[in-house]
Structure 1
Amino acid sequence: MRSRRSLAAAVSVLVAVLCGLASSITTTAAASESADRTSTHRSQQTRGWTHYVALGDSYTSGPLIPLQRLDPLGCLRSTQNYPSLVALRLGRTVLTDASCAGADTGDMTERQKITLGYHRPQFDVLRPDTDLVTIGIGGNDYGVFGSIIGTCPGLRDADPSGNPCQEHFTVDGVDTLTEAIQNTRRDVEAVLDGVRERSPEATILLIGYPRIAPPTGTCTDILPFADGDYAWLNDIEETLNAALATAAAGNDATTFIDTYPASLGHDACSEHAWIQGQHLNPIGAAHYHPNRWGMEGVAEVILDHLGERGW
């Protein structure tokens, strides 16, 4: 999920400095011979995974989390993002990570404009023998996330104890962002169908978004929102995750992985935050994005679902 696609351009210079120190490492494990393929997706969990594809936006790619990969630089993809951590833990898995900062559902089938060029359609990396796919997508569709963090901080001073951002996005009694998320659900459903078509043997995991704001209280130095907009931000994120869960439920090869409960107590305001606040950390995380601990937390939820415990 991205505040704006322009964030990728804004931070790419910082990433380039970091990447000068990094080799173009990949954290994929070596491939090994797999057991015979079975006829069901669930049986794959008992035999290991051989080809894992990760699709998604910046909440998957991990902008500014060291070390940043160079292939391509503009996607702001970390060697310590959750796909890399999951592949490392699975051990006998080759990871193809196609995630890219700023991506939305349209970038699954169309090339994406990034700093210094274009990123190929993410679906291009899917193969008939791909047996595990994770997808973290939807937050950028219809500009929902970018609209929130691009607008809400600027409205706080006018009504610091109220909910000016919620009011801003409510037109004739209708929350326009909530309404847009219903379109996101349909777009994600099409993405899941596209993955199933290209990789018919794959188990597909649709990854939800972790909590950004606390359930109660505020921390305006970290999340500069009006007090009443904290609850609204939670509502929007819960609505998005619910839409993703509904999309997954309609696809028999897909399971929704809900990271929201596990991230309770790890919001941007917490001592052990999974999410960076408003201040960009050039050697840690982009603002309003997961940090390394957030990636580890999401990876643990995924591995727990796959039955791979014991970090």
Structure 2
Amino acid sequence: MRTSLRAGLAGALACVVLVTAMTLGRDGDGDGGGGDASALPTGPYVALGDSYTAGPRIPDQSGIPAGCERSARNYPALVAAELKIKASDFRDVSCTGATIADLSAPQSTDDGTNPAQFDALSDATRLVTVGIGGNDIGFASVIRRCVTSGVLYEVTGGRDGDGDGDAPCKERYVSGDVDEVRQRIEAADSRLARALDEVGRRAPKARVYVVGYPAILPSDGGDCGRELSLAPGDVAFVRAKERELNAMLRQRAEAAGARYVDTYGPSEGHDACSAENTRWIEPLLPRSPAASVHPNERGERGMADTVLHALGARP
């Protein structure tokens, strides 16, 4: 996923998942609900994460290295502006293609190297957001394969040559009791646990929220037509895997004493297959400035509003 996020369709299909660990709140109950507006953090604020945090191709692109493709209108920037956090107290080190390992080690991009994201944390940090996890489970390759299977499904009238039903992609990842994507999620769970412990160690006075990924596909179980060519059963499969990823993020946040922010619920009906003027996620061929199968500016604003609600800055 780290190379696909920049380049055309392949990069677009490398959909990432976003998890924002924002303010590892020791006082939080993990429900993502509102807090005391009088105690809103005023910085320093550090934003950690992958492309769903960075906002690739959303204008204006800013930050170093350029290969991270950070937008000045991504949700961390919007949150910082709403909280009136000084520019000197706001550090967005999110980077397109990042995995959990890139939080603690330098990440090479197509245009420069991003230092270990944890390096931005300190004892002075008061707010942290972390959006990570999708690249760890290879969600990009899952979507690429499912789209390829969907195209073949359409061409063959529902037959891909192997006798598969209406979920040919699912049948490539699930065999009997073995679910390959679920296994990847379970492996990412332990890595995220260690990462959140490290956030707490480096920024012990920070409030941290883990923010889940917004809905990519519709809830009605229908297909996406030309927006995303998936076989009918694979729409449900991909949706289920995203929900499993978000469930893991919620559980891990709560176990670490952080708060989980659910962006999935608020984004339902604004998926990549919804109307162009309401969608938060762009389809395979974006109609708005954004990477394929990634949040557009409306989506970043929606996520920012959800985070601000969790912080108590929104009713």
Name the TM-score class by shorter chain. Answer: 0.7 to 0.9
Q: Does 1:269 align with 2:269?
A: no
Return the alpha-carbon distance in structure 1 between the equivalents of residues 41 and 111 of structure 2: 37
Deviation at 1:47, TM superposition (A): 4.9
* CA 270–9 in structure 1, closer or farther in 2 if over 3 Å, else same: closer
- Find the counterpart in structure 2 of residue 293 from structure 1: 298
SS at match of 2:91: strand
Q: Which residue does 1:108 correspond to in 2?
A: 103
2 CA distance for matches of 1:184 and 1:125? 23
Structure 1: gaps (5+ residues): 12-38
Match of 2:147?
Answer: 153
Aligned Cα root-mean-square deviation (Å): 1.9
Match of 2:31 in 1: none
**Structure with bigger RCO (C-alpha 8 Å, 6+ apart):** 2
Map Cα deviations across residues 264-284 of structure 1 (whole Å, 9 max, x no partner).
111111111100100145x61
Report the AA paired with residue 83 of structure 1. Answer: P
**Matching of residue 99 in structure 1 with residue 99 in structure 2:** no
Among candidates 172, 183, 192, match of residue 187 of structure 2: 183
The change in CA–CA distance for 1:142 and 1:268 in structure 2 (over 3 A counts) is: closer
C-alpha displacement of 1:191: 1.0
* TM-aligned CA distance change 1:240 to 1:132, over 3 Å: same
Hey, what's the Cα distance between the residues in 1 that align with 2:265 and 2:27? 29
Residue 132 of structure 1 and its aligned partner are, at CA, apart by 0.5
Alignment of 1:1-311 (within 5 A): 4-10=1-7, 46-93=39-86, 94-143=89-138, 145-160=139-154, 162-216=166-220, 217-252=222-257, 254-271=258-275, 272-280=278-286, 284-309=289-314
Asked if 2 retains the 8 angstrom alpha-carbon contact of 1:275 and 1:294, the reply is: yes
Do 1:8 and 1:74's aligned partners in 2 also have CA atoms closer than 8 Å? no
- Runs (4+) of structure 1 exceeding 2 A deviation are 7-11, 39-45, 157-161
Offset at residue 307 of structure 1 (A) = 1.1
Residues 119 and 47 from structure 1, CA distance in 2 versus in 1: closer, same or farther, beyond 3 angstroms?
closer
CA displacement at 1:46 relative to structure 2 = 1.3
- 1:291 deviates by 0.3
Aligned counterparts of 2:270 and 2:40: Cα–Cα separation in 1: 33
Q: Is the 8 A contact 2:41 2:127 kept in 1?
A: no
> 3-state SS of the aligned residue for 1:241?
helix
What is the DSSP-based 3-state SS (H/G/I as helix, E as strand, rest coil) of the residue aligned with 1:285? coil
Deviation (angstroms), 1:50: 1.8
Tell me, in whole angstroms, the C-alpha distance in 2 between the residues paired with 1:99 and 1:218: 32
Query: Aligned equivalents of 2:103 and 2:131: distance in 1?
Result: 11
Q: Quote the offset at 1:40 in angstroms.
A: 6.2
TM-score of the pair, normalised by structure 2: 0.83
Quote the offset at 1:220 in angstroms. Answer: 2.1
In 2, distance between residues paired with 1:128 and 1:198? 6
Q: Residues of 2 paired with 1:199 and 1:129: CA distance?
A: 7
Amino acid at match of 1:204: V
- How far does the alpha carbon of each residue in 1:73-123 deviate from its partner, in whole angstroms, 9 at most, with x for none? 100100000000000000134310000000000000110010133110000
- Structure 1 residues 257 and 173, CA gap change in structure 2 (3 angstroms): same
Greater shift, 173-182 or 154-163, is seen at 154-163
Answer yes or no: is the 8 Å Cα contact 1:169–1:175 preserved in 2.
yes
Contact 2:40–2:311, Cα closer than 8 Å, also in 1: no
User: 1-side partners of 2:38 and 2:260: how far apart?
Assistant: 16
Change (3 A) 1:155 1:83: same
